[in-house]
Structure 1
């Protein structure tokens, strides 16, 4: 890897970084090891030495490599996908479908909302997590009631999810999203009132925030934009909008832990470290759920 003060696209200020050749609005200190073009995290592909740009990867794949030859991987070891935002689009589509059905038939959300123990009306669920409905920890991640809540979460998912999916690869990205969301749900179940309902993708979104911050730190990028955005979100979290702050904090911590393992795992033990961190967070989710259930039954 090489850092240079200027971009081949033209002279720049001595204090600035070059911009990605595919995304001129993104500064980066990483260059393709084959053609030396500047590449951002969304475009970089992990190679045997350093990173390559998508064009060099495509050229390399057409030069008659043997079937058993090692294929270029992302920074986190994931496989290269033709559409690096496919899973992000699918996740947004699932959230959109659940939101639209909930707008047409509001009672549909009653069986998805996270509830600790049988609450008073208006919730129609006859039981909660304490009575064995653990699936509510998962289903509540895809349910939204207010349009502002849905819109904000989906904009954040699109903005944060695409670059992370490109860098982590689909399997690792999906693990980050789901497990961060479960961590947020479990932390809410642990600390919130058992009769209060909670729903939304905020836990998973804050997990993406945490992983993005870790990734930017790993690439020595300017942390100020993501820190500023995270602070703004935390101010809203603890503001007067009746937001489940537990989901945000739980998801954020889960995202930081998993994100750190994803981008810092040594190459020779990459999968073990990465999925070991995912398992560790899942163990914490189960532990929080069991502890709270023992308090409520």
Structure 2
């Protein structure tokens, strides 16, 4: 059966302050280590045969050899616990910043990397460009492309704040799949709904996928969801209120993909965990490919 974390429901409903993680005092949590009883946050918890354990107990169990499950620590989603729980997040940040610096030096690259459905500036004279013309890479390269400082600053702050917790809870490979597939879904919906000649760029689709996944994870951990829901609602309100210059399609596509993938990641039964997780990712991938193919057929 799926392993349910021991939440402190009585405290949460009685007005008593929630305990904080013993390694991160600024983080409230309803989870405790099953061996020592100390409160632990998602970044610190390690899945064991029964409940969750803190990193100190895992190390002790690995050293004594008495706890074989703890010697092979796993995240909430079944991934391997890494020494640096933010490594993939740091790499993604680095790629986005590197591309930003590159296009700052060579602005012409923006035209080659941005998401563009189909643009034919001079029929019969200049070849048309865009995804519909076979430039599929634009669906991915646009996810790492930014032109304005404010744009990349907001996206990278969102990536750092949300990504670290998700990477620790899911594991590196699952977290990377969540990020990339959310970004691809956002690109696919933008390609489908935006005007063919309208360019789109930015990591917003992937970041909104992290928003959706964070909400699912917080619900799974019995956390107070109000802060993330309020923040998400404000972001969506701004997206639709100020639609000029904002690819709302990428936000919505990424958000939906992030929710679907996260549900498969954190709610998969242990005995079928890998199959369910792969299935959720495959579902989002096939849906994105279907949208891309259908839109391409309509433009050619």
Give the TM-score, by structure 1 length.
0.92
| Compared CA separation, residues 130 and 248, structure 1 to 2 (3 A) | same
Q: Secondary structure at the match of 1:165?
A: helix
Identify the residue that residue 264 of structure 2 maps to in structure 1: 261
Identify the residue that residue 19 of structure 1 maps to in structure 2: 20
Q: Which runs of 5+ in 2 are unaligned?
A: none
Identify the residue that residue 278 of structure 1 maps to in structure 2: 281
CA contact (8 A) 1:119 1:196 kept: no
Q: Deviations over 1:145-182 (max 9, x none)?
A: 11111000000000000000000000000000000000
The alignment yields a C-alpha RMSD, in angstroms, of 2.2
Q: Which runs of 5+ in 1 are unaligned?
A: 8-12
Q: Deviations over 1:41-90 (max 9, x none)?
A: 11111111010111111111222469999612110000010000000000
Pair 1:246-2:274 in alignment: no
Pair 1:294-2:297 in alignment: yes
Q: Deviations over 1:178-203 (max 9, x none)?
A: 00000000000000001000000000
Moved more, 230-239 or 154-163: 230-239
Q: Secondary structure at the match of 2:293?
A: helix
Identify the residue that residue 113 of structure 1 maps to in structure 2: 114
Q: How many residues align?
A: 290
| Compared CA separation, residues 154 and 288, structure 1 to 2 (3 A) | same
> Hey, what's the Cα distance between the residues in 2 that align with 1:279 and 1:3?
31
CA contact (8 A) 1:180 1:252 kept: yes
Pair 1:95-2:96 in alignment: yes
